[in-house]
């Protein structure tokens, strides 16, 4: 039997909601939420005779993203009608772009697990309007529809099938979200759906040139879900092929509770949508001058900020990369360093303990219960010797859980470091007395027992003894 090694091929379609004040073709508020059907007017509810007027700010935001992803900005692009029938789409068509999108041929750089980098191609970025939202109440024989979201501007960002693993897909998403956030054109909130993605995935024998048949997976509203759903889907496709079957081109839904993807519908083809240029909208022309003006006003982007962190704070490229993938995390970091100017120490705590706790809670730093002031206060009392590094770990978790300050916790729990020589000497003496056998062995040359003694003293003092002092006194007593 020959065993075929498969490789996965992944391409993502991202939808990013733009942070404009008003909707893309009318003056209604584009804000998230609001009482149902209060952000509506004849245009966004598709009343006959109403006419769309393009929002200039939305175009400006789209150009910003195009420039930040090295994409080509088309001097002329077209809006098209994408026809389909669904209760959340009042006009019976969505205004989108099809032939002649606003932008094409870009790329971004993503970090790889082995420390390297990879360029991921961006096929196209186009503008479109969002649909409404349906609510189903199982106890009622009908459903509700909220049109507040219809007409909110979206960018659709289509990648080349350049991604090879679920992790690369998640990293690509992180990079794009960071760029959108740095540009301040999308809040990147996956839970609220303002940043969402459909993942197209296929597998093929490793090294093959042709692409396999793809499935499209929808309904993943966190990075973790994207990775889990793709991992599941790749395995599923392998089993299908190994069982002698063929992958069907279809749309599948990720069920995060069951941890599986399930077939939703056959994949629609472009001709199913009967695209045609929207006769209500003139072609969009963008002058080179406008593009240049926007280019000049671009803010610092993630890669640039990463470079600056390496230079300015002298932290490793890896640290700088992790910290700058989120604008809020990078802001958090810079604020901590301003309050406690030891950049590497700060980055260690953020990359280690803080990110671990946030990940456990599936939280982002913008909802972090621990402020830069609190972290700086803790690092301060660790530096002046009030607490040991070990106790600091405990205090950190406690601050994170309770929101209390470091000094407050130290006082409440009596966690002040023992730096009193007499007290440490006493603890050391007791430990040695209680372990005569180990002392004997140590003296006979089993030197690695030294760590054991240190551990016992730390345990006896509930981690409060100053480790350096413990080392010194132990060495003296054992020699």
Binding mask 308-347 for Zn ion (x = CB under 5 A): ----------------------------------------
For residue 132, the minimal CB distance to Zn ion (Å) is: 11
> What is the C-alpha separation between 23 and 31, in angstroms, rounded?
9
Number of residues located near Zn ion, criterion CB under 5 A? 5
**Distance of closest approach, residue 249 Cβ to ligand ADP, in angstroms:** 9
State the minimum distance, in angstroms, from the CB of residue 99 to ligand ADP.
13
> How far is residue 380's CA from residue 84's CA, in Å, rounded to a whole number?
61
Residue of minimal Cβ distance to Mg ion: 13
Choose the one of Zn ion, ligand ADP, Mg ion, none that binds residue 214, judging by a C-beta under 5 to 8 angstroms depending on kind: ligand ADP
Burial of 292 (0-12, 13-18, 19+ CB in 10 A): exposed
Residue 66 to residue 105: CA distance in whole angstroms: 9
Please tell me the count of residues contacting ligand ADP according to CB under 6 A. 16
Measured CA to CA, the distance from residue 351 to residue 295 in angstroms comes to 32
Q: Which two tokens stand for residue 166?
A: 């679920």
How near is the Cβ of 43 to Zn ion at its closest, in Å? 5
Q: Does 463 bind ligand ADP (CB under 6 A)?
A: no
What DSSP designation does 192 have? T
Rounded Cα distance, 229 and 224, in Å: 8
Q: Does 202 bind ligand ADP (CB under 6 A)?
A: yes
- Contact (Cβ atoms closer than 8 angstroms) between residue 392 and residue 374: no
Minimum gap (Å) between residue 273 Cβ and Mg ion: 11
Is residue 188 near ligand ADP by the rule CB under 6 A? no
* Alpha carbon distance 388, 417 (integer Å): 6
12 binds ligand ADP (CB under 6 A): yes
Closest C-alpha to 117, from 316, 298, 324, 318? 318
Per CB under 5 A, 354 contacts Zn ion: no
Q: CA–CA separation, 388 vs 382, rounded Å?
A: 6
The partner in contact with residue 372, picked from Mg ion, ligand ADP, Zn ion, none with C-beta cut-offs of 5 to 8 angstroms by kind, is none
The verdict on 215 binding Zn ion (CB under 5 A) reads no
Q: Helix (H, G, I), strand (E, B), or coil: what is residue 201?
A: strand
Interacting residue with ligand ADP among 22, 94, 194, 200 (CB under 6 A): 200
Q: Which stretch binds ligand ADP (CB under 6 A): 165-173, 184-192, 208-216, 382-390?
A: 208-216
Q: Please report how close the Cβ of residue 123 comes to Mg ion at its closest, in angstroms.
A: 12
Chosen from Zn ion, Mg ion, ligand ADP, none, partner binding at 47 (C-beta under 5 to 8 Å by type): none
- Helix 467-478 to helix 436-443 angle, to the nearest 10 degrees? 70
> Is residue 161 near ligand ADP by the rule CB under 6 A?
yes
Task: Indicate whether 160 belongs to the interface with ligand ADP (CB under 6 A).
Answer: yes
Whether the CB-CB separation of 95 and 52 falls below 8 Å is answered with yes
DSSP state of 264: E
Our CB check for Zn ion shows the closer of 93 and 309 to be 93
Nearest to 13 by CA among 181, 201, 184: 201
* 149: contact with ligand ADP by CB under 6 A: no
- Mark residues 209-228: x for contact with ligand ADP by CB under 6 A, - for none: --xx-x-x------------
Of 96, 150, 159, 261, the residue at the interface with ligand ADP (CB under 6 A) is: 159
Which of positions 22-61 make contact with Zn ion (CB under 5 A)? 26, 28, 41, 43-44
Cβ proximity to Zn ion: between 4 and 51 the closer is 51
Instruction: Give the rounded distance of the alpha carbon of 218 from its chain centre.
Output: 17
CB 178 within 8 A of CB 325: yes
How far is 323 from 350, CA to CA, in rounded Å?
A: 8
In angstroms, rounded to a whole number, what is the distance separating the alpha carbons of residues 471 and 479? 12
Write the secondary structure of 459-471 as one string of H (helix), E (strand) and C (coil): HHCCCCECHHHHH
The residue number with the shortest CB distance to ligand ADP is: 11
- Residue 459 in contact with residue 452, Cβ under 8 Å? no
* x/- letters, 3..42, toward Mg ion (CB under 5 A): ----------x-----------------------------
Do strands 215-220 and 76-77 pair parallel, antiparallel, or not at all (unpaired)?
unpaired
Q: Is 155 in the site for ligand ADP (CB under 6 A)?
A: no
Our CB check for Mg ion shows the closer of 33 and 266 to be 266
Q: Does residue 241 touch ligand ADP according to CB under 6 A?
A: no
Q: Which of 14, 16, 68, 158 binds ligand ADP (CB under 6 A)?
A: 158
Which is nearest to 239 in space by CA: 260, 269, 208? 260
Residues that bind Mg ion (CB under 5 A): 13
Residues that bind Zn ion (CB under 5 A): 26, 28, 41, 43-44
Residues that bind ligand ADP (CB under 6 A): 9-13, 158-161, 200-202, 211-212, 214, 216
């Amino acid at each position: 039997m020959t065993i075929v090694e498969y490789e996965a091929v992944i391409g993502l379609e991202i939808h990013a909601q733009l942070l404009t004040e008003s909707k893309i073709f009318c003056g209604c508020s584009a804000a998230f939420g609001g009482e149902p059907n209060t952000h509506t007017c004849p245009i966004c509810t598709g009343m006959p005779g109403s006419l769309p007027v393009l929002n200039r700010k939305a175009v400006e935001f789209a150009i910003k993203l195009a420039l930040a992803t090295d994409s080509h900005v088309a001097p002329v692009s077209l809006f098209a009608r994408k026809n389909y029938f669904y209760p959340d789409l009042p006009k019976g068509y969505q205004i989108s772009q099809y032939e002649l999108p606003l932008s094409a041929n870009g790329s971004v750089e993503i970090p790889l697990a082995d420390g390297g980098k990879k360029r991921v191609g961006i096929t196209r970025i186009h503008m479109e309007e969002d649909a409404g939202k349906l609510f189903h109440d199982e106890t009622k024989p009908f459903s509700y529809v909220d049109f507040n979201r219809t007409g909110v501007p979206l960018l659709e960002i289509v990648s080349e099938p350049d991604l090879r693993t679920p992790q690369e897909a998640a990293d690509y998403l992180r990079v794009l979200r960071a760029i959108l956030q740095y540009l301040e054109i999308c809040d990147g909130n996956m839970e609220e759906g303002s940043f969402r993605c459909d993942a197209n995935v296929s597998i093929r024998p490793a090294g093959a040139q042709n692409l396999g048949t793809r499935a499209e997976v929808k309904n993943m509203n966190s990075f973790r879900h994207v990775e889990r759903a793709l991992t599941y889907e790749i395995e599923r496709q392998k089993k299908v092929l190994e069982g002698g079957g063929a992958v069907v081109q279809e749309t599948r839904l990720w069920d995060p509770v069951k941890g599986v993807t399930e077939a939703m519908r056959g994949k629609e083809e472009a001709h199913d949508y009967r695209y045609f240029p929207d006769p209500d909208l003139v072609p969009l022309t963008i002058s080179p001058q406008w593009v240049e003006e926007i280019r000049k006003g671009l803010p610092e982007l993630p890669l640039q900020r990463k470079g600056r962190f390496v230079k300015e704070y002298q932290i490793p490229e890896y640290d700088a990369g992790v910290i700058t993938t989120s604008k809020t995390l990078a802001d958090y970091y810079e604020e901590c360093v301003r309050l406690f100017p030891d950049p590497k120490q700060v980055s260690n705590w953020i990359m280690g303990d803080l990110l671990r706790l946030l990940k456990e809670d599936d939280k982002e730093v913008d909802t972090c219960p621990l402020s830069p002031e609190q972290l700086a206060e803790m690092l301060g009392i660790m530096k002046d010797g009030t607490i040991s590094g070990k106790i600091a770990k405990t205090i950190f978790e406690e601050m994170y859980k309770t929101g209390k300050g470091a000094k407050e916790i130290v006082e409440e729990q009596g966690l002040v470091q023992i730096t009193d020589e007499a007290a440490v000497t006493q603890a050391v003496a007791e430990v040695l007395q209680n372990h005569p056998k180990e002392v004997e062995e140590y003296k006979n040359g089993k030197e690695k027992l030294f760590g054991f003694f240190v551990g016992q003293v730390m345990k006896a003092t509930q981690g409060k003894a100053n480790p350096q002092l413990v080392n010194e006194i132990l060495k003296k007593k054992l020699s």
